[in-house]
Amino acid sequence: MKGYLSREILHVFSLSVVLLLACFCVCFADPTPVTITLQNGLGGYNGCEETCLSQENPTYNYGNSDEVFWVQKYTSAGDDWTAVIRFDLTGVIPSNACIKSAKLKLYQWQTFSMSNDYLDVAVYRCLVPWVEGTGGDEGQPYAGACWYYRSTNPIISWSSAGARGSNTDRNDSYDDVQRCTEGTRWVVWDVTPSVQYWHRNPSANYGFVLDWTEVGISFAGVNFRTSEWGSDRPILEITYVIPEPEPTVTLSASVLGLNYWDSDPNITASTPGSAKHVLSGTTSVSGWGWDGSRTTSTYNSSFECSVKVKLEDGIVDHDHGTYSFKMWTSDSTYIQLQAVYGGFYEISGQCAASGNGERHDGTSYWSSYWDAGSYGILPFTATPEDEETEYLTWKLRYDKTNQMFYVYVNDTLVTYYSNVNFSNWRLGFGHANDVNGVDTVVRTQLYDEANPPTPNPMTWSTQPYALTASSITMVASTATDSESPPVEYYFEETTGQPGGTSSGWQSGTNYTDVGLSENTQYAYRVKARDSAVPPNPNSWSTTVPRYTLMNPPTGIQKSNVTTSTIDLTAQGTLPNLELGQSGVYFEGLGAGGLNEWIKSRTDQATDLSANTQYNFRVKARNGDGIETTPCAWVGIYSGMPRPERVEAKKPTATTVDLEAFGEFPNLSQAQSGVYFECPGAGGINTWIKQTTATATDLTPNTEYTFKVKSRNGDAVETEYAPVQATIRTLAAVPAPRPYDPIGCHTVQANWGANGNPPGTEYFCRELVTGKESGWITGTSWVLSSLQEDVEYRFLVKARNAEGKETEERDLGPVRTSLSIGGVKQRYIAGQRVNLNRKVVTAIFDPQRLIFVQDMPIYGEEQGSSGIGIRYTTPPPFVIGEGTVINVVGVLAYNDEPDHENELLVLADDGGITQVPMLVPPPVRRYAGIGRALGGESHGSQPGVMDDVTTEPPIPSRGTNVIGRLVTAWGQVKDGGLGGVGYIWIDDGSQLNDGQESGIRVDLTAVGGSIPQPLPGYCVITGIMRCMTVESASGRVNVRALWPRKAADIIRYMGSPPP
């Protein structure tokens, strides 16, 4: 506000309006100052940082030094030093404190060229941030603030090297200056202005700049202890006070010296009544003189004084009007709260004072706006009132003991100054404007004349009434007070119920108390007061009690549903039903026991028909009888009668028919239903709308227990019927399964349980033999002693635990197998044959020849013969010893040389198929003496000769074992072949094939020879085959034992086998 600078000449005018100070005789004590000391390491404080700036080393930083903190004047050598220091004030001073004084203390421990010299060191408020840095005693380049830069990461320069930029790096004026001389001592500076400024503007705390201002001769320096040193660290000592009320001074028109200041004859002061002071007129003088009044007597102790001011015309938005309320001893010594045409309140004056970052010695006019700009004022926009149309309270407060001066507008602190030392002052009001022709009216209400607002007692425009379940609203009558407007209203809640809140003084006539408890009675009264100091209240209005509203019920919950009654519970908060007219009202169409106000949230509907839907709704009212809206209609069914019993009948193996008995009204409606229950059963265990059902998926021959219950249209279930039903399912007819195994003389009949549980009994019979199994619990029956290649038929039935039998199941025909011996007996070469379930005993790959035997069943031999199978195309599976196969082919004699009398089967292509077996059957071998291992003719298989050296040859007797796996033993003979091709084993059976005595052993399958030396004896397992040799009677048939592998030959080198 540049044009405002001319106000500094106001002190030369002598227009004084003095107000008599009517002392308010109450004992007050001025606030007690509090002093805090900030020093690193003291009380946990660690917020001090500092460094010094060297002209000679302009990029060096000394922020971490414990010895270097110089301030030095040596300009001629380019070796000046300045210093910066900062104390963090965060959280150390209460926010409502006002700074009385502040002192910076540094310990001087070293000097330079000071033996007969001095150095004046000043402390300035730093205006920009800087970085303490990490440089040590020798300094470190670019490690923090230095002569050139306040930061080196990033690089930020001082406005002027050494932090000497006026109003850029540091404030243009210093806080204090002290003269330093030789020696060690604490140096103390008064830094009150800066600390006051930082407390109100904490973000601007960038610390101090220390610089020399004067030197005795030409150069000198002083070094202070740093915060890194072990003792004598820098100190900031702050003294503050918390403002407190002071004795009140009340002003009146009778003690005014009107127009004491009369610079402009067209602006005059008047007192239209004992409580008013008015300045009015049209400005006509170009100077900055005062117009106004002052008290006629003086005051000399702490006080506070409040008046109400309306800047009706000529100040707000008018060049260059001002109006002030001041402490005044002379036109050269005063301090004031001033409203300025620029739209703000400030402190201004001409006296010694410290505040808002500046110190004033009292020789010239100053203002808080000039000192701190927007930080030192209160804008008109910060007050909710319109300064031109409403009265605002202006208050001066002076603490003489602590020399603190405060100003307030509407109890908001505008600003303050310390070091204000006044004696014998007067209070006054002054107007000034250097612009002509400005219409001006400023009204000041000095005090209230003790007339309360009307009406008195206070009345209601609208009595309190419930707005919601948590709020009550009300409107007071509009009160008026012509002497001390405006009027305020106070609405008081008198019950103390939870949530009830009084309004506090407010300007409006409407008040709504919120956050209240539902359906709770609160009571309110209201009064008004004027704006006098102190204010004058009228009497309370009548007290009006009101209940908050009851929230509407949210619905109805049913319980204890019977066939004729239903218990109903209203849902919702519904508190305090026992108070006043509070209550609940259930409506029920066609139901008894309802349709009346009750003080419970639960009622019972009576006289109902079973399983019938009735419609209900509910409403509530609060303690004042104000009803809520009812909830939506709710349809509720009465109870379904409990079933009397359940019957189970017509059981099958898997089903049972069920029927429920009892009353089941309206069974088709809504969720009504019947529930037959039996765990694990199908077809039931679900709600149905009929009284009969069929339980399915039951296990045959199993006892089941069935229960039944019902439910109404709301799915409210009855208990189970008191009578249950227990029944056993029939056994299931056994399921046919393949006959297996099928032997020559034995057949196993098999059937499936078909769901019957273990323990179910079965009865199997065979029609051809007439044999029966009797009642058994297994699912198979083995019938032995049957004839080969004969068709049989088996039937089977079951019965449940109650002896109820099923029908018989025909398992179908089955034919016993034909043994290999039977094939040899019944068929001749050239006929087709089928061999079923034969076990492989030997495989001779080069000859594409395998041998098979009849497979034993349940340990019984099914036949005593073996036979060879010759194939052209190998079967599509791996054949091994123990493999069970079926063979289709033609019976023939072997065409291998010397084997023309060996009967075998020529298998068809694809005529060999495998019979799957979980466990391969044992391969049985026939063991005996050599003579027993021959055999006479058996059907189509010719017999063999025991001895061909006689004439005629001696034939073998007994069972023919040609084609069978056998084991023989005896003394080894080589027949003159040396163990190549053949050997013979002789057990003394007097066998001779014309070349050697004993049984010929063909070594073809074991490599064609036997390892040397020949053993004395052998035990050999192999296939007994036949071959033809020459004799005196022609070619005859003899034995030829074929071992399958080397392991079939067990050698004994010495004595015979045991």
> Residue 238: beta bridge partners?
36, 102
pLDDT at 5: 30
* pLDDT tens-digit readout, 141-156: 999 999 999 999 999 9
CA distances from 659 to 232, 674, 706, 925 (A): 106, 10, 10, 68
Amino acid present at 169: D
- Reported as type and span, the H/E element at residue 214 is strand 208-215
CB 107 within 8 A of CB 39: no
pLDDT at 23: 34
* pLDDT tens-digit readout, 897-910: 889 999 999 999 99
* Whole-angstrom distance, CA of residue 852 vs CA of residue 885: 9
pLDDT at 1058: 64
Q: Of 131, 156, 158, which is closest to residue 144 (Cα–Cα)? A: 131
Looking at domain 2-25+245-255+289-435, does it have CATH number 2.60.40.1260?
A: no
Pairing of strands 291-295, 926-927: unpaired
Pairing of strands 791-799, 761-766: antiparallel
Amino acid present at 869: I
pLDDT at 2: 28
Amino acid present at 318: H
* Whole-angstrom distance, CA of residue 916 vs CA of residue 911: 16
Amino acid present at 46: N
Give Rg (Cα) of the chain.
64
- Reported as type and span, the H/E element at residue 172 is none
CB 710 within 8 A of CB 663: no
DSSP code for 31: P
* Whole-angstrom distance, CA of residue 713 vs CA of residue 664: 11
CB 213 within 8 A of CB 180: no
* Whole-angstrom distance, CA of residue 204 vs CA of residue 399: 28
Q: What is the dihedral of CA 905, 908, 909, 911, to 10 degrees?
A: -90
- Reported as type and span, the H/E element at residue 369 is helix 368-372
> Residue 546: beta bridge partners?
522
* pLDDT tens-digit readout, 782-829: 999 999 999 999 999 999 999 999 999 999 999 998 899 999 999 999
DSSP code for 732: P
For residue 165, count other CB atoms closer than 10 A to its CB. Answer: 17
* Whole-angstrom distance, CA of residue 416 vs CA of residue 196: 9
* Whole-angstrom distance, CA of residue 87 vs CA of residue 195: 10
CB 57 within 8 A of CB 72: no
Q: Phi-psi region for residue 341, left (φ > 0), alpha (ψ -120 to 50) or beta? A: alpha
| Angle, CA of 54, 60 and 65, to the nearest 5° | 85
CATH architecture of 820-914: Beta Barrel (2.40)
| Same fold across 460-547 and 735-815 | yes
Q: Of 351, 322, 323, 358, which is closest to residue 335 (Cα–Cα)? A: 351
pLDDT at 902: 93
Residue 320, preceding peptide bond in cis (omega within 30° of 0)? yes
CB 81 within 8 A of CB 52: yes
> Residue 299: beta bridge partners?
425
pLDDT at 919: 82
Q: Write the secondary structure of 905-933 as one string of H (helix), E (strand) and C (coil).
A: EEEEEEEEEECCCCCCCCCCCEECCHHHH
What residue spans define the domains of the chain? 2-25+245-255+289-435, 34-241, 460-547, 555-637, 655-728, 735-815, 820-914, 926-1052
CB 645 within 8 A of CB 651: no
For the structural domain made of 735-815, what CATH number should be given? 2.60.40.10
pLDDT at 1032: 87
CB 325 within 8 A of CB 408: no
> Residue 472: beta bridge partners?
466, 513
CA distances from 658 to 710, 722, 732, 825 (A): 14, 16, 20, 65
Pairing of strands 866-870, 903-914: parallel
Amino acid present at 729: T
DSSP code for 744: S
DSSP code for 1004: G
Pairing of strands 673-677, 703-711: antiparallel
CB 479 within 8 A of CB 455: yes
* Whole-angstrom distance, CA of residue 53 vs CA of residue 230: 22
DSSP code for 23: E
* Whole-angstrom distance, CA of residue 649 vs CA of residue 644: 17
* pLDDT tens-digit readout, 402-455: 999 999 999 999 999 999 999 999 999 999 999 999 999 999 988 766 688 999
Which residues of the chain are under the pLDDT cut of 70? 1-28, 448-450, 533, 858-863, 1058
Which listed CATH number (2.40.50, 3.30.70, 3.40.50, 2.30.29) goes with 926-1052?
2.40.50
Q: Of 354, 325, 533, which is closest to residue 425 (Cα–Cα)? A: 325
pLDDT at 162: 97
CATH architecture of 460-547: Sandwich (2.60)
SS3 state at 796: strand
b/e 331-355 (16+ beta carbons within 10 angstroms → b): bebbbbbbbbbbebbbbbbbbbbbb
CA distances from 879 to 837, 841, 849, 897, 915 (A): 14, 10, 11, 26, 11
State how far Cα 910 lies from the chain centre: 71
pLDDT at 21: 33
Q: Write out the E strands in 341-411.
A: 344-350, 352-355, 358-361, 366-367, 378-379, 392-399, 404-409
pLDDT > 90 fraction of the chain, expressed in percent and rounded: 84
pLDDT at 556: 97
Amino acid present at 615: N
Regarding the domain delimited by 555-637, which CATH topology (the fold level of the hierarchy) does it fall under? Answer: Immunoglobulin-like (2.60.40)
pLDDT at 858: 66
392: Cβ contacts below 8 Å, ≥ 6 apart: 308, 309, 310, 383, 385, 409, 410
* Whole-angstrom distance, CA of residue 207 vs CA of residue 211: 13
Structure tokens at 305: 């004084």
731: Cβ contacts below 8 Å, ≥ 6 apart: 653, 700, 701, 756, 760, 798, 799, 800, 804, 805, 806
